[in-house]
Amino acid sequence: MLFRLFIVISLFFLTNHLNAQNKLLLCTEYDQNGNYKGAYDEWRIGKGGNFMYLFYESSTPINDTVFVMIYKTFNRKDTSLMEYDHYYLVPDVSKKFAVNKYIFTKSGKYKISVYDRNNKQIAQPYVADISLIESDYSDEHFVDTWYYKTSEIKFYESVVNDSMIGKNTVFNYKTSNNNVILRIEQQNKQPFKTRHFYCKIYSADNCHELIGTDTYYIDENWHWTYVSVNINQKGKFIVELYNDDDVFINSAQLEIR
């Protein structure tokens, strides 16, 4: 029994050691000998997209195409990685490395994994942060969720002459009026570039159940404003804001007790 356990543990560490020797990365170029250049974990792309080479280097001969799974985040507040795409890497004649171009068109955090034909992972996943070149946001109508990365949401009891009163994340339930003031600001002073906020209110207690929605007209040149959010029940809630194009802006949690 102990001998069998030793064999299992040895195989486990041997497999992981081999996987550690294999290498997966993104780079800007490579040569016929498998020497690569421009390998980074953070990238900037244009809004039309840019290609990189996904490069896999193996410690053992690569006898078949390599299957690639790509996962990514879809907004900056939710760190969940979801399936995004898949494709293949083509082995070089030397069988020492496999490579293929891939065009990245979306911002986000990516995790890329490679597998052999038996669906066995053959290298440690590669993780990269890809964002847009800042100058691309100069387009009057172009935004993505990362455009709002400096936005900040705060909640208040009320507002008097544009002054916020009673900042908090926990508010008492009222039978007549359960309006909470939501203040949002772009800390970098960039305009919202939208004529509406679409507000979605979810329960934080009950499997992200949608409680209600509302729409607010704003000036697209504003970089801060406030709106009145009505929540007529007790509990913990998540408030999410989106722009005219259903692009996620930001979210925050509060409680009514």
Cβ contact 135:120 at 8 Å:
no
For 117-139, write each residue's pLDDT tens digit: 999 999 999 999 999 998 999 88
SS3 19: helix
Q: What is the pLDDT of residues 13-47, one digit of tens each?
A: 444 444 658 999 999 999 999 999 999 999 999 98
Query: Are 116 and 66 contacting, i.e. CB atoms less than 8 angstroms apart?
Result: yes
More confident residue, 174 or 7: 174
Residue 11 confidence (pLDDT): 45
Domains and CATH numbers, the chain: 22-138 (2.60.40.10), 145-256 (2.60.40.1930)
| pLDDT computed for residue 74 by the predictor | 87
Tokens of 71: 């996962």
Residue 211 has pLDDT above 80, yes or no: yes
Residue 175 pLDDT class (50, 70, 90 cuts): confident
Number of alpha carbons in the 13 Å side-chain half-sphere of residue 234: 5
- CA–CA distance from 234 to each of 157, 173, 201, 254, 257 (Å)? 16, 6, 13, 11, 5
Of all residues in the chain, the percent with pLDDT exceeding 90 is 81
Here the contacts of 136-145 (C-beta below 8 Å, separation 24 or greater) are: 136/46, 136/47, 137/190, 139/47, 140/193, 141/193, 142/47, 143/193, 143/194, 143/243, 143/245, 143/247, 144/106, 144/107, 144/247, 145/74, 145/75, 145/76, 145/107, 145/247, 145/248, 145/249
pTM, to two decimals: 0.80
Mean of the per-residue pLDDT values of the chain: 91
